[in-house]
Amino acid sequence: MSILTPKALSPSPCLGKPRNPIPNPKFRSFKPHVTQFHCTCERQTERGIEFDTGESFFRHESATGRDLGVLAAALYRQSKGSLRVLDAMCGCGIRSCRYLLEAKADFVLANDANDEYRGIIVGNLKKVERGFGDTRRWVVSHFDANRVLTECYLQRDFFDLIDIDSFGSDSLFLRSAMSALRLNGLLYLTSTDGYSSGGHRPHCSLAAYGAYIRPMPCSNEIGLRMLIGGAVREASLLGYHVTPLFSYYSYHGPVFRVMLQVNRGKEHENRHYGFISYCSQCGNTRSFSWEELGQISCSCSSNKSLVLWMAAQNLKHC
Ligand SMILES: C[S@@+](CC[C@H](N)C(=O)[O-])C[C@H]1O[C@@H](n2cnc3c(N)ncnc32)[C@H](O)[C@@H]1O
């Protein structure tokens, strides 16, 4: 099997080898019927684009999430004049394909750790002429997302949009993704951790996003704020600040997606970063700043407030 190695990544001897660098038990270990560029596949259509999924992880229900990413990318391309996309967990490659065809991306790096998807991804991307040298439109690689992102950062090979379509939480990739992103670039994050947003695993959400989440009625919105809050925290550490452009919750999964713009400069006083209280007695919900932390209570004086960390109160929902 041949491999198309990203030109901009480090010429490390490991790059270019057609193997999965991390034999991670979390990856599905099936063997689809794949030859070099051919597979026994299921044919699908999304927004008029035909593609194969083979046995890769693919969900029709995620189409809206892909639409929103493509729309943001197209607007970015229109205003900045060029667009380089890193699709860090591309699955069968439909997302990369749509960034190329619909958002007119100049270049897409389509990465998925599972090298058994290679035939499917390349087959789908071949709709767009690959090009050579500086005019190359796309490259496929099979590495852990953190490695690809870090290599891009080290090579000063920055991207305008980084899409991380992960399972579970993607807080693990936040720092490397922000480092590989061009200033003013777009970061499209995912969480599928419905247990955390529902307040059923407060220690997991605390570890992943710094948010101690307890059960409360608006858990879908909380899941989005949790994700943004984690990014706000990581950005601040790196000397950046983030602006949420849109957020999207979908019942399947569930899937929480947020599009953030990342800029240089810390926000010294972040009015949108604080706590939400929910009174289990009267149902009242309100936000508290860090300065008000010791005063959290409810006007019904039941004193049964639950506390959790809130982020980005100015979040715009689509
Ligand atoms: C939710 S699926 C991606 C679906 C795809 N983006 C789409 O829109 O159809 C997640 C993908 O991430 C890949 N993956 C899981 N962990 C990874 C990692 N650490 N680095 C890179 N890819 C990973 C899996 O092989 C899987 O194909």
pLDDT digits (tens, 9 = 90+) for 258-285: 999 999 987 767 678 888 888 888 888 8
Letter for the amino acid at 194?
G
pLDDT digits (tens, 9 = 90+) for 100-122: 999 999 999 999 999 999 999 99
User: Token match 């704020």: residue?
Assistant: 225
State the pTM of this model.
0.85
pLDDT of residue 122: 98
pLDDT digits (tens, 9 = 90+) for 7-44: 322 223 223 333 333 444 433 333 334 334 444 457 89
Q: From the CB of 116, is ligand 1 less than 6 Å away?
A: no
pLDDT digits (tens, 9 = 90+) for 115-153: 999 999 999 999 999 999 989 999 999 999 999 999 999
Kindly state whether residues 61 and 144 are assigned to the same domain: yes
Q: From the CB of 165, is ligand 1 less than 6 Å away?
A: yes
Kindly state whether residues 258 and 286 are assigned to the same domain: no
CATH at residue 89: 3.40.50.150
Task: Decide: helix, strand or coil at residue 30.
Answer: coil
- Tell me whether residue 129 is in a domain: yes
Kindly state whether residues 197 and 242 are assigned to the same domain: yes
Distance between CA atoms of residues 83 and 70, nearest Å: 11
Kindly state whether residues 110 and 193 are assigned to the same domain: yes
Residues making up the chain, counted from first to last: 318
Q: From the CB of 90, is ligand 1 less than 6 Å away?
A: yes
Q: How many domains does the chain have?
A: 2
Kindly state whether residues 220 and 302 are assigned to the same domain: no
Closest atom of ligand 1 to CA, residue 192: 1
| C-alpha atoms less than 13 angstroms from C-alpha of 277 in its C-beta half-sphere | 22
Tell me the DSSP string of 108-125. Answer: EEEE-S-GGGHHHHHHHH
- Tell me whether residue 87 is in a domain: yes
pLDDT of residue 310: 54
* Distance (Å) from CA 217 to ligand 1 centroid: 30
Kindly state whether residues 256 and 283 are assigned to the same domain: no
Sequence-distant contacts of 166-172: CB under 8 A, at least 24 apart: 166/89, 166/190, 166/191, 166/192, 167/26, 167/192, 168/192, 168/193, 169/193, 169/196, 169/204, 169/208, 169/209, 171/208, 171/209, 171/230, 171/234, 172/146
Distance between CA atoms of residues 234 and 138, nearest Å: 29
Give the percent of the chain with pLDDT over 90.
61
Substitution site in 112, 164, 167 for ligand 1 pocket (most atoms within 8 Å of beta carbon): 112
| C-alpha atoms less than 13 angstroms from C-alpha of 73 in its C-beta half-sphere | 32
Kindly state whether residues 142 and 180 are assigned to the same domain: yes
Kindly state whether residues 239 and 217 are assigned to the same domain: yes
Residue 309 above 70 pLDDT? no
Kindly state whether residues 259 and 294 are assigned to the same domain: no
Substitution site in 27, 47, 87, 89 for ligand 1 pocket (most atoms within 8 Å of beta carbon): 89
* Distance (Å) from CA 20 to ligand 1 centroid: 13
Kindly state whether residues 223 and 301 are assigned to the same domain: no
* Distance (Å) from CA 299 to ligand 1 centroid: 46
* Distance (Å) from CA 180 to ligand 1 centroid: 18
Q: Which of 11-20, 63-72, 150-159, 305-314 has the lowest mean pLDDT?
A: 11-20
pLDDT of residue 288: 84
Closest atom of ligand 1 to CA, residue 28: 25
Residue 86 above 90 pLDDT? yes
Q: Which helix (H) or strand (E) holds 207?
A: helix 202-209
Per-residue DSSP letter, 316: P
* Distance (Å) from CA 57 to ligand 1 centroid: 7
- Tell me whether residue 10 is in a domain: no
pLDDT of residue 88: 98
Which are the contacts of 78, defined by CB distance < 8 A and separation ≥ 6?
Answer: none
Number of H helices, E strands in the chain: 8, 12
Going by alpha carbons, the residue nearest to atom 4 of ligand 1 is 91
The boundaries of the domain holding residue 141 are: 55-264
Closest atom of ligand 1 to CA, residue 62: 8
pLDDT of residue 41: 57
Substitution site in 64, 140, 166 for ligand 1 pocket (most atoms within 8 Å of beta carbon): 166
Kindly state whether residues 281 and 257 are assigned to the same domain: no
Q: From the CB of 27, is ligand 1 less than 6 Å away?
A: yes
- Tell me whether residue 143 is in a domain: yes
Kindly state whether residues 156 and 285 are assigned to the same domain: no
- Tell me whether residue 116 is in a domain: yes
Q: Taking the C-alpha atoms of 49, 51, 56 and 61 in order, what is their torsion angle to the nearest 10 degrees?
A: 30
Give the pLDDT band of residue 301 (cuts 50, 70, 90): low
